[in-house]
């Protein structure tokens, strides 16, 4: 026992100094506990239970180690057997890209990411700088010679040119020059060039959308890219191609300054094609340009008149003399000088008739219906470019008369497409969309009754077979539509040499209100040829487009009550007037 400490010392408290140093109760408790454990062996032996105490120690240590090893083993088993597949070797999806490919509704590629290469040169490793410069310039003609020389005469590795295509890289790489190296960079590529350029927009080198669908769906495109999927738009490239080609043809025929074409599915609001000419212009005229569209607005006035019950097809309007509002004298482009029914007002495109109807309905009703047709707000579409219309500031009789035939309000072509869709799909105003399959939980509202919609469809069709839209007919496709011709305000007055010719069409115009139906809007801005009216500059393009896209859209040629399936006249119906106003 003598070699051991004094047994009484084992019961002693920890050798702390209660007077000084750390005197917190918790600290004291901890040091006492440590002290007790430290001396438990000796204390147990003193109590004549030495073996039992050793066993307890060994058992405790064994338990601790076992627990630790069991944890490690479970972790190892978990990592080996239950870890997610591919989680170790590949970070994320193997086909992941920063921005998803944009494809059309059939899967044709519209925009993609391609690895490009930045060309770097370290002049210290170049033997013959002059020869290197000449050879690189020959292999890569678009490189800036001054930049190349500046890098070659410098003293450190610098970038000469970013964005080499893989072919250009191969050409420069094939020179086998020292000091030339390449660094990959992800670039957004639009393989269609100018085609659909306004729909797609552009993304910057940082992978963020700047305009068009790239901006509108920026987040979703990036998410789809991370999943390795592509992002489908509502565009149909075949339809888009026909639209662009025919629009270019119409522009060439009419020597116009600009043009817009939009094709949409009126039942879902999906835009199947949207083109703005010239394509070199960054401005998307379909979404951002404002136009006074002229007589196409008569459709809205007539629709409002029919829907309120203020008029029906046989209501008479006196167009025998000019309509006077104060000092303003409203006349017809082709004066008929007779009393007209509402149908004749529409088919003859009588300003007097629609003005009388609009003034009769009054500002509240007109404003209400224009609001319902979305003519007073920006077109509801994902594009950020969609511009607000220029609305009239006051709604007096003179303004109402102007509005009734499409003056005094400047709207974007997309608004016109949305409104025409609402009038021809049973009266439901469906927001336009560039998303394939339509907009999820779209805010659809009923703006006119289905009966009004049916009446208008027939009226639009009659306008093509008997009225001003004859050149828009396509054999067997039952095209219906309304022409619009407006003069532009130049230096404060309407100048007949600066015109806008429009044709807003829908096909097929027959069948029930919920039948598959497509709208075509063609707008020709400042045509140079004469006559400048919509019936001459825009309608023929509509006819050609309908003729060519019908097979893609699955619209079959069929006879209706006015025309045979091959486009021959059924004698009871003939043109009342071929002026194309």
Answer whether the bond into residue 278 is a cis peptide, omega within 30°. yes
Q: Is the dihedral of CA 466, 472, 474, 479 positive or negative?
A: negative
195 binds another protein (CB under 8 A): yes
Taking contact as CB under 8 A, which single stretch among the options 36-44, 52-60, 112-120, 315-323 is the one that binds another protein?
112-120
CA–CA separation, 309 and 233 (whole Å):
40
Looking at 189, 210, 339, 490, which residue binds another protein (CB under 8 A)? 189
Using CA atoms, how far residue 558 sits from 185, 453, 474, 510, in Å, is 54, 21, 11, 10
Residue closer to another protein by CB (options 249, 487) is 249
252 binds another protein (CB under 8 A): no
Nearest CA among 403, 401, 382, 381 for reference residue 392: 403
Looking at 244, 385, 510, 579, which residue binds another protein (CB under 8 A)? 244
202 binds another protein (CB under 8 A): no
Looking at 15, 19, 84, 94, which residue binds another protein (CB under 8 A)? 94
Pairing label, strands 271-277, 323-325: unpaired
Looking at 390, 436, 548, 576, which residue binds another protein (CB under 8 A)? 548
Looking at 209, 225, 241, 353, which residue binds another protein (CB under 8 A)? 241
558 binds another protein (CB under 8 A): no
278 binds another protein (CB under 8 A): no
Q: Terminal CA-to-CA distance of the chain, rounded, Å? A: 126
Look up residue 326 and give its two tokens: 């104060």
283 binds another protein (CB under 8 A): no
CA–CA separation, 204 and 162 (whole Å):
14
Rounded least distance, CB 237 to another protein, Å: 7
234 binds another protein (CB under 8 A): no
Q: At what angle do helices 298-308 and 413-424 cross, to 10 degrees?
A: 30
Instruction: Provide the Cα torsion 162, 166, 169, 174; round to 10°.
Output: 180
CA–CA separation, 506 and 502 (whole Å):
13
89 binds another protein (CB under 8 A): yes
Which parts of 255-274 interact with another protein (CB under 8 A)?
none
Contact 480, 489 (CB under 8 A): no
98 binds another protein (CB under 8 A): no
**Residue with token string 């097979």:** 551
Residue 386 appears among annotated catalytic residues: no
Looking at 225, 406, 426, 475, which residue binds another protein (CB under 8 A)? 475
Look up residue 556 and give its two tokens: 């079959």
Looking at 211, 240, 425, 455, which residue binds another protein (CB under 8 A)? 240
**Residue with token string 């010679």:** 145
According to DSSP, residue 569 is labeled: B
Q: Of 254, 295, 355, 404, which residue is the catalytic one?
A: 295
555 binds another protein (CB under 8 A): no
The distance of Cα 556 from the centroid of its chain, to the nearest Å, equals 29
Rounded least distance, CB 112 to another protein, Å: 5
List, in order, residues 6 or more apart from 216 with CB less than 8 Å away.
201, 209, 382, 383, 384, 434
215 binds another protein (CB under 8 A): no
114 binds another protein (CB under 8 A): yes
Binding mask 48-87 for another protein (x = CB under 8 A): ----------------------------------------
Residue closer to another protein by CB (options 238, 298) is 238
Residue closer to another protein by CB (options 7, 107) is 107
Rounded least distance, CB 245 to another protein, Å: 5
Exposed, middle or buried, 414 (CB in 10 Å: 0-12/13-18/19+)?
Answer: buried
Taking contact as CB under 8 A, which single stretch among the options 173-181, 188-196, 303-311, 442-450 is the one that binds another protein?
188-196
Rounded least distance, CB 279 to another protein, Å: 9
Rounded least distance, CB 308 to another protein, Å: 40
Rounded least distance, CB 254 to another protein, Å: 19
Taking contact as CB under 8 A, which single stretch among the options 193-201, 308-316, 334-342, 420-428 is the one that binds another protein?
193-201
List, in order, residues 6 or more apart from 178 with CB less than 8 Å away.
125, 126, 127
Exposed, middle or buried, 185 (CB in 10 Å: 0-12/13-18/19+)?
Answer: middle
Kindly provide the b/e burial profile for residues 147-172, where b requires at least 16 CB atoms within 10 angstroms of the residue's own CB: ebeebbeeeeeeebbeebeeebbebb
| Residues recognised as catalytic | 295
Q: Which residues bind another protein (CB under 8 A)?
A: 88-90, 94-95, 101, 108-110, 112-115, 166, 189, 191-195, 237-238, 240-242, 244-245, 248, 475-476, 544, 547-548, 556-557, 566-567
């Amino acid at each position: 026992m003598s070699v051991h400490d004094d047994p009484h010392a084992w019961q002693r408290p920890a050798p702390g100094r209660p007077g000084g140093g750390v005197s917190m109760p918790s600290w004291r408790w901890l040091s006492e506990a440590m002290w007790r454990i430290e001396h438990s062996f000796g204390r147990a032996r003193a109590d004549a239970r030495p073996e039992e105490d050793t066993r307890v120690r060994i058992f405790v240590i064994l338990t601790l180690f076992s627990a630790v090893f069991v944890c490690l083993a479970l972790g190892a088993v978990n990592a080996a057997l239950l870890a997610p597949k591919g989680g170790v070797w590949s970070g994320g999806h193997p086909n992941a890209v920063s921005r998803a490919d944009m494809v059309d509704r059939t899967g044709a590629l519209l925009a993609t990411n391609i690895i490009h290469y930045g060309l770097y040169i370290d002049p210290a490793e170049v033997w013959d700088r002059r020869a290197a410069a000449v050879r690189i310039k020959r292999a890569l003609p678009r490189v800036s010679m001054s930049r190349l020389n500046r890098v070659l005469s410098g003293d450190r590795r610098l970038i000469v040119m970013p964005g080499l295509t893989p072919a250009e890289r191969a050409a420069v790489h094939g020179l086998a020059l020292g000091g030339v190296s390449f660094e990959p960079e992800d670039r957004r590529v639009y393989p269609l060039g100018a085609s659909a350029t306004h729909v797609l927009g552009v993304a910057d080198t940082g992978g963020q959308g700047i305009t068009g669908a790239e901006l509108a769906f920026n987040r979703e495109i990036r998410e789809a890219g991370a999943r390795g999927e592509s992002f489908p738009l509502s565009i149909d490239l075949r339809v888009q191609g026909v639209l662009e080609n025919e629009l270019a043809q119409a522009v060439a025929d009419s020597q116009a300054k600009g043009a817009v074409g939009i094709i949409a599915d009126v039942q879902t609001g999906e835009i199947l094609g949207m083109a703005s000419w010239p394509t070199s212009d960054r401005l998307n005229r379909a979404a951002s340009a404002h136009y006074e569209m002229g007589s196409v607005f008569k459709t809205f006035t007539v629709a409002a008149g029919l829907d309120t019950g203020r008029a029906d097809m046989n209501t008479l309007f006196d167009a025998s003399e000019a309509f006077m509002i104060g000092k303003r004298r409203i006349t017809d482009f082709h004066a008929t000088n007779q009393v007209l029914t509402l149908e004749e007002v529409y088919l003859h495109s009588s300003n007097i008739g629609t003005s009388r109807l609009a003034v009769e309905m009054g500002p509240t009703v007109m404003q209400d219906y224009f609001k319902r047709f979305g003519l007073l707000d920006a077109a509801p579409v994902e594009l950020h470019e969609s511009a607000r219309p220029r609305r009239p500031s006051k709604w007096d009789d003179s303004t109402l008369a102007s509005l009734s035939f499409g003056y005094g309000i400047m709207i974007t072509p997309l608004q016109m497409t949305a409104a025409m869709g609402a009038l021809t799909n049973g009266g439901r105003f469906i927001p336009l969309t560039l998303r394939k399959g339509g907009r999820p939980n779209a805010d659809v509202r009923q703006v006119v009754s289905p009966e009004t919609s049916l009446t208008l469809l027939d009226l639009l069709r009659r306008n093509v077979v008997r009225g001003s839209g004859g050149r828009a007919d396509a054999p067997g496709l039952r095209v219906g539509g309304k022409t619009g011709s407006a003069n532009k305000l130049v230096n404060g007055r309407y100048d007949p040499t600066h015109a806008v010719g429009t044709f807003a069409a829908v096909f097929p115009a027959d069948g029930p209100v919920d039948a598959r139906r497509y709208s075509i809007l063609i707008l020709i801005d400042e045509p140079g040829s004469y006559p400048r009216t919509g019936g001459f500059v825009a309608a023929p393009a509509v006819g050609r487009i309908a003729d060519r896209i019908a097979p893609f859209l699955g619209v079959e040629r069929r006879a209706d009550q006015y025309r045979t399936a091959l486009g021959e006249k059924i004698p009871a119906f003939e043109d009342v007037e071929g002026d194309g106003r």
